């Protein structure tokens, strides 16, 4: 591990993949405390993830650092309070809410395309930056309504800075305690304060808007936010501000960069496979113009399959971790309580037990049968802690890809070489994603 130190820091996903290729489906790292295992058998990983939450905890370096931002939000909390909050948040992610997500995604993509329309044909744009802005707009509009744009730039920067700092801490078991005023700690504290301020202002707006007088303001509150807040009321009807704050920051953090990463890699793979991009355009050209809702998504099987296949090969959440809270048996060895389990959707998407010819980009895998149920398809995790925003993300991605494919063709600049992703909080293109855009 000492010899691999540089790779571990520079490209941890590649390091994990190499360990799996060299040593197989259960690897114990030579670290005395806690015992650390990399699990890669698709059946075993599913069985860990679908096991009861009482057998495992999210108290790992990865989630503890994220919790600096998200507190007791769904992504990082253990049970309690996780189970009660999950139940309370479910209505906000109900199927009936997804038409509004589609409309937000179409609106966000449209406003971006208006800017592209002004460019000379054949201009180069950073598609990764565009996807970051579109996905922020979709999740922020769902939470904040249409007013959030006043502080859009600040909010994006604060989220990204905070997440970057969290990654640096997660990779360094000896990171200084947060109260030490180092440059990095101060940067993280400032970004967190900015996120907190935005969310506090949102809650204040809700409280004043819903306290009778400002009828017009109350009607501007997005239904998604309404459901989140309704779910987190205390028994006496008062607002649990800190629970609401933690969930809202969680949704902002969990629903922004992940979707942007999925979309950027989708454009990358479509550019590498122009024949598939042409088939997507043909599918999109059959749509009824102007309607962007879940019926539209249902009419886009190939576009959705392209997104699924991208998530198989480039899962934004490329590593999942758990700490065991009971002794358990894994791959013939006994794993003691308090062990760290590392599982990587990046490896599972490449596992020959789960996929034929795993390196090949082939969306048709997802056109027949239900491959989303396959053992090796884990971009959204599995079991009780499966991503609550999965349908939200898939609907958003299908709409953005369809709407943009209807109007533009995207290709990589001539002479571009294949990209190796940067494995940070999510998998990102290493230096943005410059692409040439041409009107159709
Ligand atoms: C392509 C986009 C997305 C990907 C790849 C993704 C991936 C994941 C994964 C792998 C997990 C499980 C983590 C674990 O088991 O340790 C998760 C959990 C979660 N995700 Fe997503 N996610 C995406 C989009 C979203 C969106 C749009 C939202 C909200 C708006 C969201 C909110 C959450 C929350 C709250 C959890 C925690 C659920 C719980 O433990 O109860 N995600 N996500």
- 318 CB under 6 A from ligand 1? no
CATH code of residue 104: 1.10.630.10
Beta-carbon contacts of residue 208 (< 8 Å; ≥ 6 apart): 214, 217
Nearest Cα to Cα of residue 95 among 233, 270, 298: 298
- Say if 338 falls within a structural domain: no
Ligand 1 atom with minimal separation from the 384 CA = 41
- Say if 24 falls within a structural domain: no
Instruction: Report the number of distinct structural domains present in the chain.
Output: 1
Whole-number Å distance, alpha carbon 179 to ligand 1 midpoint, is: 29
Alpha-carbon span 23 to 252, nearest angstrom: 38
Q: Answer whether 342's CB lies under 8 Å from 39's CB.
A: yes
Residue of 254, 386, 395 to test ligand 1 pocket, by largest number of atoms within 8 Å of CB: 254
Beta-carbon contacts of residue 375 (< 8 Å; ≥ 6 apart): 42, 43, 46, 348, 353, 354
Nearest Cα to Cα of residue 325 among 54, 48, 29, 38: 54
- Say if 174 falls within a structural domain: yes
Whole-number Å distance, alpha carbon 387 to ligand 1 midpoint, is: 4
Alpha-carbon span 367 to 103, nearest angstrom: 25
Ligand 1 atom with minimal separation from the 77 CA = 40
- Say if 11 falls within a structural domain: no
Atom 31 of ligand 1: nearest residue by CA position? 389
Residue of 98, 261, 377, 389 to test ligand 1 pocket, by largest number of atoms within 8 Å of CB: 389
Alpha-carbon span 66 to 163, nearest angstrom: 8
- 346 CB under 6 A from ligand 1? no
Ligand 1 atom with minimal separation from the 396 CA = 27
Ligand 1 atom with minimal separation from the 426 CA = 5
Q: What angle do CA 347, 349, 354 make, to 5 degrees?
A: 105
- Say if 21 falls within a structural domain: no
Whole-number Å distance, alpha carbon 64 to ligand 1 midpoint, is: 16
What 3-state DSSP class applies to 84?
helix
- 393 CB under 6 A from ligand 1? yes
Whole-number Å distance, alpha carbon 216 to ligand 1 midpoint, is: 33
Whole-number Å distance, alpha carbon 180 to ligand 1 midpoint, is: 31
Residue of 228, 387, 425 to test ligand 1 pocket, by largest number of atoms within 8 Å of CB: 387
- 255 CB under 6 A from ligand 1? yes
The CA R_g of the chain, rounded to the nearest whole Å, is 22
pTM: 0.95
Give the domain range for residue 411.
Answer: 51-317+379-439
- Say if 296 falls within a structural domain: yes
- Say if 205 falls within a structural domain: yes
Each residue's pLDDT expressed in tens, for the chain with a length of 440 residues: 778 888 888 899 999 999 999 999 999 999 888 999 999 999 999 999 999 999 999 999 999 999 999 999 999 999 999 999 999 999 999 999 999 999 999 999 998 899 999 999 999 999 999 999 899 889 988 887 766 666 666 777 788 888 888 888 887 777 888 889 999 999 999 989 988 888 888 788 777 765 433 444 444 678 888 899 889 988 888 888 899 989 999 998 899 999 999 999 999 999 999 999 999 999 999 998 888 999 999 999 999 999 999 999 999 999 999 999 999 988 788 899 999 999 999 999 999 999 999 999 999 999 987 777 788 999 999 999 999 999 999 999 999 999 999 999 999 999 999 999 999 889 999 999 999 999 99
Atom 40 of ligand 1: nearest residue by CA position? 385
Ligand 1 atom with minimal separation from the 135 CA = 27
- 232 CB under 6 A from ligand 1? no
Nearest Cα to Cα of residue 274 among 106, 111, 108, 435: 435
- 380 CB under 6 A from ligand 1? yes
- Say if 228 falls within a structural domain: yes
């Amino acid at each position: 591990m000492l010899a691999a130190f540089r790779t571990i820091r520079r490209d941890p996903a590649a390091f994990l993949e190499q360990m799996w290729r060299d040593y197989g489906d259960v690897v114990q790292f030579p670290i005395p405390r806690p015992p650390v295992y990399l699990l890669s058998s698709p059946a075993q990983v599913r069985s860990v993830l679908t096991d009861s939450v009482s057998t495992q905890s999210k108290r790992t370096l990865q989630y503890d650092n994220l919790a600096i931002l998200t507190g007791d939000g769904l992504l990082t909390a253990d049970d309690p309070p996780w189970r009660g909050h999950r139940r309370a948040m479910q209505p906000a992610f109900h199927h009936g809410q997804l038409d509004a997500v589609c409309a937000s995604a179409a609106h966000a993509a449209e406003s971006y395309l208006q800017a592209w329309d002004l460019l000379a044909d054949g201009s180069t744009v950073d598609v990764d930056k565009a996807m970051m802005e579109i996905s922020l707009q979709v999740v922020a509009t769902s939470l904040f309504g249409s007013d959030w744009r006043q502080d859009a730039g600040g909010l994006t920067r604060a989220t990204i800075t905070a997440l970057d700092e969290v990654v640096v801490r997660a990779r360094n078991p000896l990171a200084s305690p947060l109260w030490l005023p180092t440059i990095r700690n101060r940067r993280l504290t400032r970004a967190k304060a900015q996120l907190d301020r935005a969310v506090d202002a949102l809650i204040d707006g809700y409280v004043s808007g819903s306290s009778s007088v400002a009828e017009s303001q109350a009607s501007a509150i997005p239904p998604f936010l309404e459901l989140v807040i309704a779910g987190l009321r205390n028994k006496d009807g008062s607002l649990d501000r800190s629970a609401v704050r933690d969930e809202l920051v969680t949704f902002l953090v969990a629903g922004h960069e992940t979707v942007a990463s999925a979309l950027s890699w989708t454009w990358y793979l479509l550019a590498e496979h122009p024949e598939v991009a042409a088939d997507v355009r043909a599918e999109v050209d059959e749509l009824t113009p102007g309607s962007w809702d879940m019926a539209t998504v249902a009419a886009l099987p190939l576009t959705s399959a392209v997104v699924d296949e991208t998530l198989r090969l480039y899962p934004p959440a490329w590593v999942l971790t758990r700490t065991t809270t009971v002794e358990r048996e894994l791959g013939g060895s006994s794993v003691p309580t308090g062990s760290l389990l590392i599982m990587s959707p990046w490896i599972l998407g490449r596992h020959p037990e789960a996929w034929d010819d795993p390196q090949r980009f082939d969306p048709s895998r997802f056109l027949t049968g239900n491959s989303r149920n396959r053992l090796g398809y884990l971009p959204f995790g599995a079991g009780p802690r499966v991503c609550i925003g999965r349908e939200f993300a898939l609907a958003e991605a299908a709409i953005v890809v369809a709407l943009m494919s209807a109007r533009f063709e995207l290709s990589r600049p001539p002479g571009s070489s294949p990209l190796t992703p940067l494995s940070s909080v999510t998998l990102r293109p290493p230096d943005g994603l410059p692409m040439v855009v041409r009107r159709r």
